[in-house]
Structure 1
Amino acid sequence: MARVVVDVMLKSEILDPQGKAVHGALNRLGFDGVTAVRQGKRFEIELDGAATPEAVARIEQAASTLLSNPVIEDFELRVEQ
C-alpha cells in the first residue's frame, strides 16, 4: 500500500487572510521571530497497491480538478511508500 500526499497552497500573489490572522496571534502570544504565515491544505490519499505512474497521474488529475482551485492555488504531490 502506498500513500500520496497532496499539499495545496494559495499562490504567492493571492492574499492569505487566515495566514495573516495566525501570524498576528503568534505575535500576540509571544512567538517572536515569525515574519509570515501562509495556510494551506494537506490531503493524504491511500492507494490499494503500489504507486504506479498511472495511479499517481490519476491522483494528480484529481488534485488539479477537485482538491485545488487552479486559479488561486498551487499543489505539490509526493509519494510516500
Structure 2
Amino acid sequence: MYMDYFDMGGMWMFPLLGFIVILIFIVIFLKSIGNNKNEDSIHHSESALDILNKRYAKGEITKEQYDEIKRDLLK
C-alpha cells in the first residue's frame, strides 16, 4: 500500500501544493505592496494652496494673480 502511493505520483503532491501556497502568498504580498503605494500617493497629494504657494515661489505667477487665486480658493 505504501509503495502504491509513491508509484502513482503521490510523492509530488505535497511539494507541489506547498509551492502553490507559497506562490499565492507571494502574489498577495506583492498586491498589498502595490496598494500601499497607491494609498500613500493619495494621502500625500498636495492641496491647491500648496501648489499655489509653489507656483508663486517659482515666479510663475505675479503677486496679484497669487492674491486673486488665493481668495478664490479660500471662499
TM-score (norm 1): 0.25
Structure with the higher fraction of residues in helix conformation: 2
Structure of greater relative contact order (alpha carbons < 8 Å, 6+ residues apart): 1
TM-score (norm 2): 0.26
Structure with the higher fraction of residues in strand conformation: 1
Larger Rg: 2
